[in-house]
Structure 1
Amino acid sequence: MRVVVTGAAGFIGSHLAQALAAAGRDVLAVDSRKRGASTANIAELARAGLTIIDRDLVTDDLADLADVDIVLHLAGRPGVRTSFGAGAADTHRDNVVATERLVAACAATRPRFVFASSSSVYGDADRPCDEDDRIDPRSPYARSKSDAETLVRGSGLPAVVLRYFSVYGPRQRPDMAFHRFIEAALDGSPAPLYGDGGQSRSFTFVGDVVGATIRAASVPVPPGTIINVGHPVTVRVRDALDRIGTLLGAPPPTVTKDRAPGDVTRTWAGTARASHLLGWNATTGLDDGLAQQIAWHRRRRRG
């Protein structure tokens, strides 16, 4: 069985591509160096023996990527804060236009198509978000994910949309909160804390997200189904900071910044559909997941 993973040099994509290869799948790991693909993660994939394809989904030919059994589409431009202003055009390009072209390329071959969306489409949550809830995207990034969902669901492909919730773990991007906080605790340089830290998130370990994504590629579900992929327990950012400090023996130094545009007060994953349709539940607690991420930071520092 041949599987394409787009965004394979990304934080989540690199873990997913390696897990599929370890399970015996023929994986085509697709990413674009000119669009900022991580050279460190590309090196990890190469060491694991994966086939790496350097491809821009907006400008390059995609016909060969569609001639497979499964397409796992994780490529895109991440980040709520950087999607405002000058970043809006690149966010639309990499998240909407790229998805539109990939979906069109798959029209004839009709592979199983799994699209990685985001919990940001919901806006603020005052209860666990249900996949049928009205969405409220509050940033260009969130709108780009909502627009891409519409493209995927209207494509006629046997497609599944996964809404990921606040993923963390080894290889997390340097711009993400836990990466910044752990590095701050290890080297003593303050990391930015946006707002008062009272924001709550359904922090979800990358290994759990990979497991859900693989299940979505293999378990029969109705085409166009949306499924939340998140931990059902929400944790405040300042409480996560305290846990990082406890695990490292020193609190991460921070400098308070204004609340970022588009930053919601709370995300909260409703997980009944993932449990029912995929037989999946997040099983990694925050302390265990943070310990694994901290261990990765220490290995990385040792070279």
Structure 2
Amino acid sequence: MRTVVTGAAGFIGSHVVPALIADGHDVVAVDAPGRAAFPAAAAANVAALARDGITLTECDLVTDDLAPLRDADVILHLAGRPGVRSSFGPGEADAHRDNVIATRRLLDVRAGRLVLASSSSVYGDAGHPCTEDDPVDPRSPYARSKAEAERLVVAAGGVVLRYFSVYGPRQRPDMAFHRFIEAALDGSPAPLYGDGGQSRSFTYVGDVVDATVRAARAPLPPGTILNVGHPVTVRVRDALHLIGTLLGAPPPTVPKDPARGDVRRTWAGTDRAAALLGWTAATGLDEGLTSQIAWHRARRDEQSRARPGEHHG
């Protein structure tokens, strides 16, 4: 099966590509690292792919010719402009460009099925485990752009995966667990938005990769939407405490006002993914955070070797 992965140099994409190859797919890895929200992180992920013998095809989905992607059996569309907080103000145009226009262009050229990586943020606040039939209530330009991209994909008979608060090795530098772990290792405070009582369905990246690979080959009905999240919600302050326990030092934080567009709770109902993919999240927060912490430490060791004389905790 010839499978195109957009956003291959991203946090999730850089894990999905080698998993697809191991599953027997002929993979075309596509990204535009020059437009990455965090260029250094994208460059590190490109290097990780190269170490696995995977070559990245550079392509801006909005401006470049997409004809080379036309004959794919499946396009896993993981590319996009991330971030709720950064999508307000000038960031709104970037969210629309990279999430809506890029998706529309891919749909115009694709011959096979398109699977879109969307976000739990389209639901707004969750008072119960969200099901895919619940109405959407996006609270930020980012969430609105994802909801619009979903509408386009469903109308075209594609598949939508709504990811919930993904964490693990290679997590983006703006995400909470990345900031908290680095704060504990450095002793430099990380921002804590709100009171820490927000709850999330934190979902380990390995579980997300498993669901995504299954979706690439499963005979899903056109227009299917699936939640990809851990069914147990955890408060941010409890996750922060767990990070401190695992590291032996509590991450220092500095209080900040609640972030604009942030929701109080996300909560994944995953019965449909279990029924159609045979998938449920298998990784608990303790195990997943242990893996992410190991990655942070290995990355810092590598940086220390690259810059002799500097010490990293």
Same fold? TM cut 0.5 = yes
Deviant stretches of 4+, over 4 Å: none
Distance (Å, rounded) in 2 between the aligned partners of 1:230 and 1:217: 17
Aligned residue in 2 for 1:17 = 17
Aligned residue in 2 for 1:72 = 76
Aligned residue in 1 for 2:30 = 30
The two structures, once aligned, show a CA RMSD in angstroms of 0.8
Distance (Å, rounded) in 1 between the aligned partners of 2:251 and 2:55: 39
Distance (Å, rounded) in 1 between the aligned partners of 2:77 and 2:9: 12
Q: Is the 8 A contact 1:21 1:50 kept in 2?
A: no
1:148 equivalent in alignment to 2:149: yes
Q: So what's the TM-score if we normalise by structure 1?
A: 0.97
Letter in 2 for 1:65: L
Distance (Å, rounded) in 2 between the aligned partners of 1:277 and 1:19: 20
Aligned residue in 2 for 1:62 = 66
Distance (Å, rounded) in 1 between the aligned partners of 2:163 and 2:76: 14
Aligned residue in 1 for 2:129 = 128
Q: So what's the TM-score if we normalise by structure 2?
A: 0.94
Q: Is the 8 A contact 1:4 1:70 kept in 2?
A: yes
Residue 24 (structure 1) shift: 2.9
1:1-303 aligned within 5 A: 1-36=1-36, 38-106=42-110, 109=111, 111-156=112-157, 159-303=158-302
Gaps in structure 2 of 5+ consecutive residues: 303-313
Residue 51 (structure 1) shift: 2.9
Distance (Å, rounded) in 2 between the aligned partners of 1:21 and 1:256: 43
1:113-145 Cα shifts (integer Å, max 9, x gaps): 110000000000010001000110000000000
Residue 236 (structure 1) shift: 0.2
Residue 23 (structure 1) shift: 2.6
Q: Is the 8 A contact 1:27 1:51 kept in 2?
A: no
Distance (Å, rounded) in 2 between the aligned partners of 1:191 and 1:129: 30
Distance (Å, rounded) in 2 between the aligned partners of 1:237 and 1:47: 35
Residue 18 (structure 1) shift: 1.3
1:153-185 Cα shifts (integer Å, max 9, x gaps): 1124xx210000000000000000000000000
1:214-234 Cα shifts (integer Å, max 9, x gaps): 111111111001000000000
Residue 2 (structure 1) shift: 1.3
Residue 33 (structure 1) shift: 2.2
Distance (Å, rounded) in 2 between the aligned partners of 1:203 and 1:66: 35
Q: Secondary structure at the match of 1:243?
A: helix
Indicate how the Cα distance of structure 1 residues 2 and 51 shifts in structure 2: closer, same or farther if over 3 A, else same.
Answer: farther
Q: Is the 8 A contact 2:9 2:33 kept in 1?
A: no
Distance (Å, rounded) in 2 between the aligned partners of 1:232 and 1:180: 24
Letter in 1 for 2:5: V
* Residue correspondences, number: 298
Gaps in structure 1 of 5+ consecutive residues: none
Q: Secondary structure at the match of 1:103?
A: helix
**% same residue:** 74
